[in-house]
Structure 1
Amino acid sequence: MRSIGILSQAWRKEKIEELKAIAEMAGKMGFNEIWSGIDPHYVEGIKEIAKIAEKYNMYFFVDINPDILRDFGASPSNLKIFKELKIGGLRADYGFTIDELIKMANNDLGLTIELNASIFPLEKLDYLVKNVKNIEQLKASHDFYPIKYTALSLEDTIRKSREFKQRGIPVAVFIPTPREIEGRTTVEMLRGKSTGKSASIIFNTKVIDRVIIGDPFPTEEDLREVVEAREYTKIRVLVYPGITEEEKKVFSIKFEDVRIKEYSIALNAIVKNEIKPRNITRRFRGAVTVMNNRPNVIEVWIFKKEVEADKRFNVIGEVLPEDMDLLDYLGEFTPVKLIPVEMK
């Protein structure tokens, strides 16, 4: 199940009212998770955010390390204080041995333990999983890297995440907002992209099921884009003049049957139509076409490479330049919706 979350700096007393308002908005919009740092000198903020998380049934987890445990009078075998603060999970950032992580994961308080997916020694993962009583009390989340050019590649993020996913441990990454080039992102190539596009790229990996907005002060639009991306990948299409009413049906469908080919991306839906041959031209990278004379199915083919004209394919538009990069990241059977944009 895809999960979406926000970052809340609940330790910031001077910003707590603004952070509470954002948490409320996210909860109302269907966000599932809240992550925060934690300060033993200001637990009131944690309590306030925990209340909102409880209100909207959101998973609330906080970052810990050995120093934080010590400051709270806690230890790997004594995590009671966090349960009392109504925290749902503890992200073990750094500094714990594998056996300490196992001890924490085997707590009888129902607390989830989040492994640091960016730095966890993968060769030790099977040992840890074997010794954890309940795999349901394990999750994993990557680090974020605020400084430009210091984050992970998408390929490395996928490689590491797959190891957790294959063992039944859901993985989270942080995505930036477009306003924060030096922002909290796990993946370097996401800097400068919209939250919706970033979330779509991550969900299309098929191995990362959780996305957390790394900006603690996202806009309502940022939140809405991520909610939308949880449901489908949006691809905007510049529509050519002369499109028929039958061809316009492609913009009212959420395509669930998405298949990735060498030259193209196929979107299929069982829908009656009367699409006739029209605008038969060469197809190029980004060309959006629909097959004609297919009365019981709508087949949209978006091309990734240039090919010759074919009498079976009507060219109805082209992918907006800003969305062209999505063609390289779509995953099989990940829902897609085409959004029409009028030519000016």
Structure 2
Amino acid sequence: MTFRQLGLSIYPDHSKFEEDARYLDLGHKYGFTRIFMSMLEADDPEGTKAKFKKIIAYGNKLGYSTVLDVSPRIFDKFGISYSDLKFFADLGAAGVRLDEGFNGATEAMMSYNPYGLIIELNMSNDVAYLDNVLSYQANEPYIFGCHNFYPQVGTGLPMDFFTRTTTRFKKHGIHTAAFVSSAHGNMGPWNVNDGLPTLEEDRHLPISVQAKQLFATGLIDDVLIGNAYASEDELKALSETNRYQLQFDIDFVPAASAVEKEIVLKPQHFRRGDINALVIRSTMPRVTYKDEPNPAHDNTEEFQRGDVLVGNDDFGHYKNELQIVLEPHSDPRKNKVGRINEHEIRLLDYIRPWSKFKFEDR
């Protein structure tokens, strides 16, 4: 089984060891286990080696695994042979991400390096690159995929393109990663930093919503924060994000009863397989709570997309069924008990037939 991980990014060529170490300590506190570290801007081989080795060793002691972002320029500048990756192993890295691809045969051969280094491929191109690498009989367990991030506003990937490129990797069972952006981080590899997400639509969303969306696609295993340094609140929010099913934040209406809150928060919800366009139906609560009375309240307004409803005493067989509104409608047999966080309403599109989901009272 592939477990989903959270990761941080640090930029030793633009930061101080002490600041990076504090950030890694904070990430460790909240269960982060991956480090993305860019070498693309490195120029001094000896200075870079000492600097990177020190911070990677610190991360390794905390249980992180570090992947170094590299390009052909780095191999040339540092005199590193594609057939001998000892330089990266000596730094303590777990793998290298190839920001630019080679000819397929080179990547395949690199995946058999004796140090067990992961070879992470750039996923942000809709071409048959991975198929080419695998056709050279690559060592597949050591082939990973990771998207780019995009410092310039307006240049991140659109969702349809992201889906196509990531599916190329996921259909082969390749471990995948993508980036979310901190609202507080102002450090990246370059001197333009309008945030560092993979998806353009994520650029200005709360970081937990970005992560929920990436995980909800079913295409991404690891979510990495692209820019440094994220705030502690952001790290905490990501640590509390359910990585395996959508968990919506809900604000209850004042009149929501204890039973209604239990119906929302306690069960493992799933959408009925015979779906409709009006609402997402979670029908088991009407069975579990069939004997619990539920007087009408908040039932006369027009319900809007993202409202959470529970059938009231006038709904007969459907009393205490939970529904999430997809299209506006009115029905006095339903009580509005709360509303999904406005930023998360976009995520309703990921609740498909039989999808599992939960709620959390924020």
What is the TM-score when the length of structure 1 is the normalising length?
0.87
* Per-residue deviation, 1:36: 0.4
1:265 aligned partner:
280
* Greater mean deviation of Cα atoms: 50-59 or 1-10: 50-59
2:342 aligned partner:
321
Output the amino acid matched with 1:333. S
1:29 aligned partner:
30
2:308 aligned partner:
288
8 A contact 1:2–1:230 mirrored in 2: no
* Greater mean deviation of Cα atoms: 203-212 or 254-263: 254-263
Q: Distance in 2 between matches of 1:267 and 1:58?
A: 39
Instruction: Name which of 235, 239, 258 aligns with 1:223.
Output: 235
Instruction: Name which of 317, 330, 338 aligns with 2:360.
Output: 338
- 1:6 is aligned to 2:18: no
Instruction: Name which of 262, 277, 299 aligns with 1:249.
Output: 262
Per-residue CA shift, 1:83-108, capped at 9, x if unaligned? 11110010001152222111212222
Per-residue CA shift, 1:231-276, capped at 9, x if unaligned? 4544333322322111121454374535675322344666943252
* Per-residue deviation, 1:324: 3.0
Instruction: Name which of 111, 114, 121 aligns with 2:120.
Output: 114
Output the amino acid matched with 1:115. L
Q: Distance in 2 between matches of 1:4 and 1:254?
A: 27
Output the amino acid matched with 1:114. E
Q: Distance in 2 between matches of 1:266 and 1:30?
A: 34
| Structure 2, gaps ≥5 residues long | 186-192
**Superposition pairs of residues 67-216 of structure 1, within 5 angstroms:** 67-119=73-125, 122-179=127-184, 182-216=194-228
Distance 1:310 1:138, change over 3 A: farther
* Per-residue deviation, 1:285: 1.6
Distance 1:3 1:194, change over 3 A: same
Distance 1:278 1:52, change over 3 A: farther
Q: Distance in 2 between matches of 1:73 and 1:326?
A: 47
* Per-residue deviation, 1:197: 0.7
Q: Distance in 2 between matches of 1:229 and 1:73?
A: 42
What is the TM-score when the length of structure 2 is the normalising length?
0.83
8 A contact 1:72–1:81 mirrored in 2: no
Q: Distance in 2 between matches of 1:182 and 1:31?
A: 24
* Greater mean deviation of Cα atoms: 276-285 or 218-227: 276-285
8 A contact 2:109–2:138 mirrored in 1: no
- 1:305 is aligned to 2:327: yes
User: Helix, strand or coil: the match of 1:184?
Assistant: coil
* Greater mean deviation of Cα atoms: 253-262 or 299-308: 253-262
User: Helix, strand or coil: the match of 1:31?
Assistant: coil
Tell me the number of residue pairs that the alignment of Structure 1 and Structure 2 aligns.
Answer: 337
* Per-residue deviation, 1:320: 3.8
Per-residue CA shift, 1:124-159, capped at 9, x if unaligned? 422322434431101111111100111110221111
Output the amino acid matched with 1:148. V
Per-residue CA shift, 1:181-202, capped at 9, x if unaligned? 8111111011111110100111
| Structure 1, gaps ≥5 residues long | none
| Cα RMSD for the two superposed structures | 2.8
* Per-residue deviation, 1:63: 0.8
Instruction: Name which of 212, 219, 235 aligns with 2:248.
Output: 235
Q: Distance in 1 between matches of 2:357 and 2:31?
A: 19
